[in-house]
């Protein structure tokens, strides 16, 4: 069994060409898949920050709290 697995890995002597090809294929698509997920997190975080600032400003307008409370 292990012999056949080794021969599978060896790819008839072309392992150096076959496996890098598949690795590039999978890695590039993985990067393509993950990029929008990170971007989405960043966009929503920035948006929440903007919303928090806005609501703080609106509260300030009512006279309840002129400045957002210090952290």
Partner 1 sequence: MAKWIPLWLHKLSSPPTFYAFAGKVRPWAIALALILGVIALYGALVLAPPDYQQGDDYRIIFIHVPSAWMSLFIYAVMGVSAFIALVWRIKLAEVVAMESAPIGAAFTFITLVTGSLWGERMWGTWWTWDARLTSELVLLFLYLGVIGLYHSFEDRRQGARAAAFLAIIGIINVPIVHFSVQWWNTLHQGSTVNLFGKSHIATDMLWPLLTMMVATKAYYVASLCGRVRTDLLALEGGKDWVRKIAAAEKSR
Q: Which residues bind partner 1 (CB under 8 A)?
A: 8, 11-14, 17-18, 20-22, 24-25, 28-29, 31-33, 35-37, 39-40, 43-44, 47-48, 50-51
Compute the least distance from the CB of residue 63 to partner 1, in Å: 25
Closer of 11 and 63 to partner 1 (Cβ): 11
Closer of 25 and 65 to partner 1 (Cβ): 25
At residue 36, the 3 state secondary structure works out as helix
Q: How far is CA 61 from CA 25, 53, 54, 65, 67, in A?
A: 55, 12, 11, 8, 10
Report the alpha-carbon angle 56-43-25, nearest 5: 165
């Amino acid at each position: 069994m292990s012999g056949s697995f080794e021969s599978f890995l060896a790819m008839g002597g072309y392992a150096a060409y076959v496996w890098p090809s598949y690795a590039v294929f999978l890695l590039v698509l993985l990067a393509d898949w993950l990029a929008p997920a990170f971007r989405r997190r960043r966009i929503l975080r920035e948006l929440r920050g903007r919303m928090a600032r806005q609501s703080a400003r609106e509260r300030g307008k009512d006279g309840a709290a002129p400045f957002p409370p210090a952290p």
